[in-house]
Amino acid sequence: MSGIKASGTKTLMLFGGRAYPELAIEVAEQLGVGLIPTKVFNFANGEIYVRFEESVRGSDAFVLQSHATPINEWIMEQLIMVDALKRASAKRITVVMPFYGYARQDKKHRGREPISARLIADLFKTAGADRLMAVDLHTAQIQGFFDGPVDHLWALPILARYVQTKYDSSNMTVVSPDAGRVRVADLWADKLGTPLAIIHKRRDPKEANQVRVHEVVGAVEGRTCLLVDDMIDTAGTITQAADALLASGAADVLVTATHAVLSGPAVDRLKNSQVREVVVTNTLPIPDEHRFDKLTTLSIAPLIARAIREVFEDGSVTSLFEGNA
């Protein structure tokens, strides 16, 4: 048996999908368990087949899959894994998604739009999930989309510890790249004991639908500015914010984010920017061609493993962050 037994009655079993096996292996090593052998393949038409090669009856099952590219395939694979566990009589199923796919579609901006983040939660509930676990959700309201416990893990302590070790925070200002990230930036400022600044984006009145004017609100002149965000996708927002800070007299700019999506032009934009360092976690796989000298990747596996252990032992996931966030 590859799982952990507790009190002679419960067994922790960890399952990893194909999206990011390296992270699943790292989490398994942190827990001191082996991943449950799983047969997974695609039929000729793209349909996914899943079969677990050990009995899962009565187990406390944790299904880890980060929603990387191609995101729809990996979400579907995780849903099928959950369904297979439910039908094989797993006692409790926790879906572990370090990066929650479709999280940015958390509300309707206009009529006739979906709320896709809610749909994802509904799909996992229908498949048989009892609990969700994710790292740095795009918005906290997503926790209310799932009818069951949601463990919202924070990467801030891991990222902040690195920043505090490498840089002098006495001359640092934490910066939110837009109004939507102010709450997260405020937590960072409290953690580091620094001032807070905000990049206010305004539309150019001469050019419709174009963000051209970036106003810096806060003290940044002569200071090291730490731009904080939950994810870097195409890196347009973050690199424009860095340019605005330097134009306002910032001495240096650092960037930190939990999820390195790095789509399209992101790598070239970051490589060619004046940003000193980009610090991210490994919630998503970063292929070799997306790595560059200024990129630092910190492991999220110890945090996920600790959270899984707390859930398995009916402990408190919240206790992981007390005094650390």
Kindly list the catalytic residues: 201
Cα separation, 85 vs 103, in Å, equals: 25
Cα separation, 261 vs 65, in Å, equals: 15
Cα separation, 33 vs 14, in Å, equals: 8
Tell me how far apart the 2 most distant CA atoms of the chain are, in Å. 70
3-state secondary structure string, 266-297? Answer: HHHHHHCCCCCEEEEECCCCCCHHHCCCCEEE
Q: Which two tokens stand for residue 77?
A: 């694979």
User: What letter would DSSP give residue 37?
Assistant: P
Cα separation, 108 vs 50, in Å, equals: 35
Q: Which two tokens stand for residue 156?
A: 């801030």
Is residue 160 within 8 Å of 118, Cβ to Cβ?
no
* Backbone angles phi and psi of 178, in degrees to 5: -160, 175
